[in-house]
Amino acid sequence: MVNQERLWNRLMALGGIGKQATGGITRLSFTSEERAAKDLVRQWMNDAGLEVREDAVGNLIGCKRGTDSQAPLVLAGSHIDSVQNGGNFDGPLGVLSAVEALQCMNEAGVETYRSIEVVAFTDEEGARFRFGMTGSRGLAGKLTAQELGATDDSGVSIAEAMREWGFDPDCIAEAARPEGSVHAYVELHIEQGKILEQADLPVGVVTGLAGPLWLKFTVTGQAGHAGTTPMSMRHDALVAAAEIIQVIEQEAARQDATVATVGQVHLFPGGVNIIPGRVEFTLDLRDVNAQTRGAVEGEIRRLAQQICDDRALSLDVEILQDIAPVACSEDVQDAVYDACATVGIRTVPVVSGAGHDCMQLQELCPVGMIFVRSKDGVSHHPDEWSSPEDCATGASVLYHTLLNLASRE
């Protein structure tokens, strides 16, 4: 149902923007690399016969009009920004598959009752400002002016970066979709796991997404001379932080589906011969069950405080991001299962451990996801890979899923 060669060539061409010497891709939000990528995708949207625009937060949108332009529409898409030295499929496959699906509909003269829009969301990864899903938050009406104050390593805020691109941060509310205006949202994405590969299946139907909770721990003790301070008199923030990190691993491992990652650690003053006086580290805590995640978070906080109290240190815990786990719509899942049957493939239900833009849209409309098999489950890495055949199969399933959802009154 789709043009495999065209889809693959576009994936490879987009992958040339932000290409690193390592073979990975770096396209951070509101940079020249992301601008070049969006301009190229805009060109392909035009080639597909779509009406193209950018909204108030920089989401790139291509629309195929339905026979009833007033009916709640169907959204599909993903993102084209990347992590540092990331892969070529995480995000772009979902955007380009949706463009390909709509282009095939237009080429075949297929009309739908509902309009269908493909969205390339701004800054899903959060790699530059450590605040992700900016575009989908804006579309869902959740983005606030305060959140635009998040800064990158150079001290540039999201608001400042938006202004450099010609967007007015004071107008972000214009990107929000009215209640009842969206019938459903579907996102195609690589699995970033090994379930489909082990099952020897090209496509999976996502039943739910684990919600990421990002915390920043700050442990404060007392810096001192490494040679003149006896061990019994030290208030070493790093030793306490190391104990807390071990507790984090142990508490997450007690649960079946909980995962916990300490991804950043900074210590101060940072001298070879100075006892660390302050340590900051982040925690990414996820589970598909909100109650389980909350219980693990509570125990980690309790034990961390106990460790600091025992060592006469102070502890501060800041919430950087808190996204609730999401259950995918049964109606959207049914539409995907029907599409798989039409394409003639077997599929299985899968769960997403990663966060995606669809999590921000769950209060706006029913949401669902289609996963495409990932080689070795590798993601956020130059070796990230899905075969041309699997990409085309996923795009074909997306084609029929959109047709199922957009043809219903």
Alpha helix stretches (DSSP H) within 121-194: 134-140, 158-164
346-359 residue pLDDT tens: 999 999 988 899 99
Q: Quick one: pLDDT at residue 150?
A: 96
- 3-class state of residue 241 by DSSP: helix
pLDDT at 158: 98
C-beta of residue 55 within 8 angstroms of C-beta of residue 162: no
The half-sphere exposure of 376 on its side-chain side, counting CA atoms within 13 A, is 8
- Return d(Cα 120, Cα 41) in angstroms, integer: 9
Strand partners of residue 350: 206
Whole-number Å distance between alpha carbons of 377 and 347: 17
pLDDT at 14: 98
pLDDT of residue 211: 87
pLDDT on residue 323: 83
Q: How far is CA 206 from CA 247, 365, 372, 409, in A?
A: 31, 16, 10, 24
Whole-structure pTM value: 0.84
Condensed to tens digits (0 to 9), the pLDDT of residues 234-283 reads 999 999 999 999 999 999 999 988 999 999 999 999 999 999 999 999 99
Q: Residue 321: its pLDDT value, please?
A: 85
Instruction: Profile the chain (409 residues) by mean pLDDT over runs of 10 residues.
Output: 96 97 96 98 98 98 97 98 96 98 98 98 95 96 97 97 97 98 98 96 96 95 98 98 98 94 97 98 94 97 98 97 91 98 97 91 97 96 97 98 94
